[in-house]
Amino acid sequence: KIYNMSKMNVSETGSDLKCLTSWVEMDESSDFSIDNIPFGVCSFPGTTNARPRCCTRLGDTVIDLSTLSEAGLFDVIDHLDSPTYTFSRDTLNNFMTHPKQVWADVRMRIIELLVSPTSCNALTPDARLRTNLPLQKTAFHDVSSENEYIQVQMHLPATIQDYTDFYSSREHATNVGTMFRDPANALNPNWTRLPVGYHGRSSSIFVSGHKVTRPCGQLQLNPTDASEGSEYGPSRLLDFELEVAFFVGGKPNPHGERLTMEQSSERIFGFVLMNDWSARDIQKFEYVPLGPFGSKNFATTISPWIITTMALEKYKCPTSYEAQEPIPLEYLQDKDYSSYDIELGVAIMSENTKEPVKVSKSNLRNLYWNAKQQLTHHSVTGCIMNPGDLLASGTISGSSTESLGSMLELSWKGTREVKLGPEVRKFLKDGDTVIMTGFAQKEGLGRVGFGCCSGKVFPYVSTSGNMPVLDSSNTTSDRYTDFKLYGYWRSSCTWRVHVALNCKSISFTHKEVDLLQEDQKKMEYADGVNPMKQVPVLECTDTVTGDRLRFTQSLPIIDFIEEAFSE
């Protein structure tokens, strides 16, 4: 039997497949309905064969595709090279190299094996899995919250050779331009002419759940004057960025040959959620003239399941812009200029509250440049696009305050507080867990969701290699010692720090700085403690790392006091 679902005219639109149900028990509200059928890579610790392999998911059931292929259930698919070899790999790269029609046929074959016999007249259900209980026992793995013996571990779905991050949300680009440049010229002239992007680090891309260590780098001493230099220390302005990324599939284009818009459509394998973690203070000092570097190379988190374009086809919709103005150059003109109606959300869970609080709600429609245009532009110079390459959207922000996709925007560069239950944030603190979600849903169709993309912030690693985290035998008051406050008695900011220190019962030495006396403005007077010549300045010693810590300006000082003496 030659199996090619294109003859049914359902591999792309799925328009004939409505109200599908499965014989596999599942919650109707699951992200992973039978209309979804994502692809990922899992391992099953504790089993006789714990190596990673290719899988899919239906509800709370992870299904081992390598086991199904060994049973011969994919042998009927035309042009699928060695199904057992393809699905027993520890990445999806081999499967990604196949043409889009093969991806669609495999997905439809899985649906045929899982669909209820009475569900859809457009399909002929295959009972070989439904009636084979031993095969189910081997291939099916329960990941429900009720299962206390969950033994499924998710891995990166592909080997990512190259990673590119775009800057495709007009609202986000406008907001950032307004904050850091002239609001009247928030967008650079090239922004509406091409998808702006930069190359990132694939070595720092991790699957959801991987810990994120607060990065260190050079921090600008004077926020308004970079010429006064920098200091080394942990980022105080750690941020998330709500993004959606897609994996490239198909055979690589020959060097020197660009992809057309139609070819790009055939090369998009599927989408994942992405958190492009960012250190805004490190970014501020380093980004001129070549853009972000260390401020974005330390961690990028993606969701583990790849959602195919076939699953999302029914949710295609106009972008929030409807049309692009000015009209792009011919190679970037998309006759089917559109996006997908995917609801996106961000929640933050602090260590104190233990309950996630929604801080942002956006939509993939809020992209000015879509995935096809991004991929087409990336290849316009003849750049080779390989299967497994990852291309990200950039921060996805909408026009309303609640739809902003980063703390930079939500706190408007730290000038306003973001409520987090009983707490507030301007940027992320150690112990915060950022949880991103995304799904598409219509009446009469199963939910097509991404699961979650999460990461928890851990304290920075000192130069000595020790984590500056107290153990149970040490108290916070033991850790930070020898506090010294440089301040001016007429400075309200200095008194604000006085109050904070006294509220925490912190002993400190106050070194008076009289800003009305010229000689006391000299660096020698304050022992060179503050090249910015500002007050207040707080110094203390971290007994865990041995470092002498120095904080300037009242708000960062109080943030440190609140975090370090939170008990």
CATH code of the domain in which 42 resides: 2.30.30.230
What phi, psi does 518 have (nearest 5°)? -60, -40
Q: Does a structural domain hold residue 322?
A: yes
CATH assignment at residue 400: 3.90.850.10
- Residue 6 pLDDT more than 90? no
CA 1 to chain centre: 42
pLDDT tens profile 177-203: 999 888 999 999 999 999 999 999 999
Domain-located, residue 223: no
On whether residue 103 sits in a domain, the answer given is yes
What is the reported pTM?
A: 0.81
Is the same domain home to 368 and 491? no
In this structure, are 541 and 401 located in the same domain? no
Active-site annotation holder among 141, 172, 377, 378: 172
Give the rounded distance of the alpha carbon of 442 from its chain centre: 25
Same domain, 322 and 449: yes
Q: What pLDDT does 116 receive? A: 93
480 is in an annotated binding site: no
181 annotated binding-site participant: yes
**Residue 88 shares a structural domain with residue 173:** no
Say if 92 falls within a structural domain.
yes
Let me know: does 539 contact 527? Beta carbons within 8 Å. no
Statement to judge: residues 211 and 360 lie in one domain: yes
> Is 102 domain-assigned?
yes
The dihedral over CA atoms of 466, 455, 397, 310, expressed in degrees to the nearest 10, equals: 140
Domain containing 124 equals: 5-155
Whether residue 379 contacts residue 248, with contact meaning beta carbons closer than 8 Å, is answered with no
Domain boundary among 124, 155, 186: 155
Q: 395 among the known binding-site residues?
A: yes
Do 37 and 138 fall into the same domain?
yes
User: Is residue 60 located within the same domain as residue 40?
Assistant: yes
Same domain assignment for residues 24 and 114: yes
Residues 370, 250 share a domain: yes
Please indicate if the annotation marks 283 as binding a ligand. Answer: yes
User: Which residues, in sequence order, are CB contacts of 502 under 8 Å at separation 6+?
Assistant: none
In this predicted structure, the answer to whether residue 4 has a pLDDT above a threshold of 50 is no
Q: Which residues pair with 58 in a beta bridge?
A: 61
Beta bridge pairs of residue 511: 486
Does residue 124 form part of some domain?
yes
Q: What is the number of structural domains in the chain? A: 3
pLDDT at 37 over 50: yes
- Ligand-binding annotation for 331, yes or no, is no
Last residue of a domain, one of 134, 155, 176: 155
Give mean pLDDT, residues 436-459. 96
To the question of whether residue 241 is assigned a binding role by annotation, the answer is yes
Determine whether the annotation assigns residue 276 to a binding site: yes
Amino acid letter for position 7:
K
Q: Give the per-residue pLDDT at 478.
A: 65
The C-alpha atoms of residue 169 and residue 174 are separated, in whole angstroms, by: 9
Q: Look at residue 472 in the predicted model and tell me its pLDDT.
A: 30
What is the CATH classification number for the domain harbouring 537? 3.40.30.10
- 147 with 176, same domain: the answer is no
| 326 lies in the same domain as 264 | yes
- Whether residue 470 is contained in a domain is answered as no
Cβ count within 10 A of residue 227: 7
Of 97-101, 102-106, 477-481, 523-527, the poorest mean pLDDT is in: 523-527
- In this model, does residue 11 exceed pLDDT 70? no
Question: Which tokens sit at 208?
Answer: 């959801």
Let me know if 172 is a catalytic residue.
yes
Residue 363 falls inside a structural domain:
yes
Residue 415 annotated as part of some ligand binding site: no
- Do 328 and 346 have their domain in common? yes
The answer to whether the beta carbons of residues 119 and 184 sit under 8 Å apart is no
What span, in angstroms and rounded, lies between the C-alpha atoms of 238 and 480? Answer: 22
Q: Which of these three, 458, 493, 527, is where a domain ends?
A: 458
**Residue 335 and residue 346: Cα distance in Å, rounded?**
32
